[in-house]
Structure 1
């Protein structure tokens, strides 16, 4: 089935866009307040964000973003895992999705592996680390 082209997409944009496939496990991880993140698509102009495979440590630090919205999708987690949003803890399990708007202080509690979709593109200067 052929998909309709949105009216705001020009034919020249369609000709330039190339699909991209990334093995997230092949990306070198970087430290973050949560643990270790493997970030993809920062160099993909057709996507206005980034996708992160994040392994969350037991000592994840509370933080917030001034402009970023994040969606956490829990892939794996230990029993008793939770997400803390502005001080309120909510239990999570695999395939739970959590949308976190800018300004919300958040952290994961317990070891887990998440897929994080960040909009706009992740910028470490947008992140404020807070004391737990």
Structure 2
């Protein structure tokens, strides 16, 4: 279950501590702390391997698909410069600062269409 939080761990050690706190590893799940598609920052244990996130994208938890999707990083600096696993998002703090800080609610749908959602299993396009 996605649980809202005020902040995410900022380094590997803190990330592993949260993983232990959530008992994700003990249940064969992977700890994640990331934004969801509604703009909420939260923590969750997810089944399966972490998502592979492409360069210039950030991971995001999609509440409808109940899976990690990715969205184009819209920041001017600090975007991921190489592919990475979704559970290593702490390496790219810009992805934990919110994806839509420069857009209004009415602009979000076109931004999502432009970025195109990428799911591990299938590609979802609005």
> Please, what TM-score do these two structures have when normalized by structure 2?
0.26
> Please, what TM-score do these two structures have when normalized by structure 1?
0.25
Q: Which has the larger radius of gyration?
A: 1
Higher helix share: 2
Higher strand share: 1
Greater relative contact order (CA < 8 Å, ≥ 6 in sequence) = 1
